[in-house]
Structure 1
């Protein structure tokens, strides 16, 4: 297995929108292409089950 020791960036299309997915050793971040802000989820939150709480908190801050 190849270790994730530096950021990995990929472009993906969801519906008609294009996003940039960045995967780092600490988290993954999904951002609309050409923007700086997006959704970020730490691996520790995902593994511990806190992902739903983290997502709800981000939504409340953005909305």
Structure 2
């Protein structure tokens, strides 16, 4: 049995030795470096439709061009 997500769920995670706050809510996911206001946001529809994978692949290819 699952529990409905009625309010935002916040958790601190460690990525590469740096603390981040992960927020899960009805709109999607948000990952923000601890102490910052801006971060990455991913909506549920983008995740399900595959747009998130396409954006990640594009970001990776752009980073390769810069190096």
Structure 2: runs of 5 or more not aligned = 60-67
TM-score (norm 2): 0.76
Report the structure, 1 or 2, having the larger helix content. Answer: 2
Structure 1: runs of 5 or more not aligned = 58-63
Note the alpha carbon deviations across 1:3-60, whole angstroms, 9 max, x for none.
0111000001012100000000111000000000000000110001111345558xxx
TM-score (norm 1): 0.80
Between structure 1 and structure 2, the one with the greater Rg is 2
Deviates more, 1:47-56 or 1:22-31: 47-56
> Considering only aligned residues, what root-mean-square deviation do their CA atoms show, in Å?
1.8
